[in-house]
Amino acid sequence: MPRLSNSVRIGAASILLLSLLHIFFWAILALALRTGSPVEYPFNYLALMAWALSVVGIAGLIIAIGIFRARNWARIAAIALAALAAFFCALGIAAPLFLVYGFMLSTGFGIEIPGKNDLLRLVVVYSLILIIAVWWIFLFSSRKVAEQFSTNSAADVPLSSGKLSCPPPIALLAWLMIASGALSAISWPLLLGKIPAMLFTHIFAAKASHWIWGVNTLLFLVCGIGLLKLQRWSYSATIALHVFWLVSLFVSQICPLYNRYISLCLSTLSAPNSYFSLGMNRFPQWVSAILTAIPTALLIAGLFYYRRSFLQAVNDSQM
Residues 81 and 187 placed together within one structural domain of the fold: no
Confidence category of residue 36, pLDDT binned at 50, 70, 90: low
Partners of residue 307 on adjacent β-strands: none
* Whole-angstrom distance, CA of residue 286 vs CA of residue 284: 6
Query: What separation in angstroms does the CA of 102 have from each of 94, 98, 162, 280?
Result: 11, 5, 56, 11
Question: 183 — phi, psi (to 5°)?
Answer: -65, -35
Instruction: Please state, for a pLDDT cut of 70, what percent of the chain lies above it.
Output: 75
134 and 177 co-located in one domain? no
142 and 201 assigned to the same domain = no
DSSP assignment letter at 160: T
250-300 residue pLDDT tens: 888 888 887 787 777 777 766 544 444 444 444 566 666 777 777 788 888
Give the pLDDT band of residue 110 (cuts 50, 70, 90): very low
243 and 141 in a common domain? no
Domain count, the chain: 2
Rg (CA), the chain: 22
Q: Are residues 78 and 128 in the same domain?
A: yes
Give the residue with greater pLDDT, 269 vs 11.
Answer: 11
> At which of 122, 140, 156 does a domain end?
156
- Mark whether 148 and 168 lie in a shared domain: no
> Tens digit of pLDDT for each residue in 130-176?
898 888 888 888 888 888 887 555 444 444 444 556 777 788 788 77
Query: What is the span of the domain harbouring residue 173?
Result: 163-319
Residues 202, 292 within the same domain: yes
User: 189 and 292 share a domain?
Assistant: yes
Based on the domain organization, do 143 and 77 belong to the same domain?
Answer: yes
Q: Is the pTM of this model over 0.85?
A: no
Domain end point (choices 156, 178, 195)? 156
Report pLDDT for 276: 45
pLDDT of residue 112: 47
| Domain stops at, among 111, 130, 156 | 156
Same domain membership, residue 274 and residue 237: yes
**Within this chain, do residues 283 and 178 fall inside the same structural domain, yes or no?**
yes
With 80 as the cut, is the pLDDT of residue 245 above it? yes
Residues 120 and 185 both lie in one domain: no
Phi/psi at 203 (5° precision): -95, 125
